[in-house]
């Protein structure tokens, strides 16, 4: 069954800690994306990657970091520099050349809470 998997589903972070959210896809998609969603709001783009070993900042990249060492994986690290990290984080992927036909495939999300 092809899909995109985010883990963990729930994550708790102490003040000052870095945490890493996992995103893995077996769809052979070229492009991967990280979005942040706050309660009752839309999605804001954090980082995206269209090819292995390359990624670009989105609209709210400060306090976050990513890597794209493998096509299947696009982990997101929420660093201590992110002052308000409590949110729902969504990972998505797309076929780069056909994304405009099929749209994005989303994972089921990770809910991060600062305690």
Partner 1 sequence: SQQGEEDPQALSIQEGENATMNCSYKTSINNLQWYRQNSGRGLVHLILIRSNEREKHSGRLRVTLDTSKKSSSLLITASRAADTASYFCATDSNSGGSRLTFGEGTQLTVNP
Beta bridge pairs of residue 22: 7
> Counting contacts by CB under 8 A, is residue 27 touching partner 1?
no
Among the listed ranges 19-27, 65-73, 74-82, 91-99, the one in contact with partner 1 (CB under 8 A) is: 91-99
Residue of the chain from 18, 62, 102, 113 that contacts partner 1 (CB under 8 A): 102
Q: CB-wise, 63 or 109, nearer to partner 1?
A: 109
The rounded distance, in Å, linking the Cα atoms of 24 and 4 is 6
How far, in whole angstroms, is CA 81 from its chain's centroid?
Answer: 17
Residue of the chain from 34, 76, 107, 114 that contacts partner 1 (CB under 8 A): 107
Q: CB-wise, 69 or 96, nearer to partner 1?
A: 96
Residue of the chain from 18, 41, 53, 113 that contacts partner 1 (CB under 8 A): 41
Separation in Å, CA 82 to CA 56, 64, 89, 110? 18, 7, 14, 16
The rounded distance, in Å, linking the Cα atoms of 104 and 96 is 10
Q: CB-wise, 15 or 54, nearer to partner 1?
A: 54
Smallest gap from Cβ 17 to partner 1, in A, equals 24
């Amino acid at each position: 069954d092809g899909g995109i998997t985010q883990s963990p589903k729930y994550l708790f972070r102490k003040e000052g800690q870095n945490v890493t959210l996992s995103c893995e896809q077996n769809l052979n998609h070229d492009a991967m994306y990280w979005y942040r969603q706050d309660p009752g709001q839309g999605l804001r783009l954090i980082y995206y990657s269209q090819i292995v070993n390359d990624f670009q900042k989105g609209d709210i990249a400060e306090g976050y970091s990513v890597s794209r060492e493998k096509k299947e994986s696009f982990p997101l690290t929420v660093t201590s520099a992110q002052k308000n990290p409590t949110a729902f984080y969504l990972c998505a992927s797309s076929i780069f050349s056909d994304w405009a036909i099929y749209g994005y495939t989303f994972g089921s999300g990770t809910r991060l809470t600062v305690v």
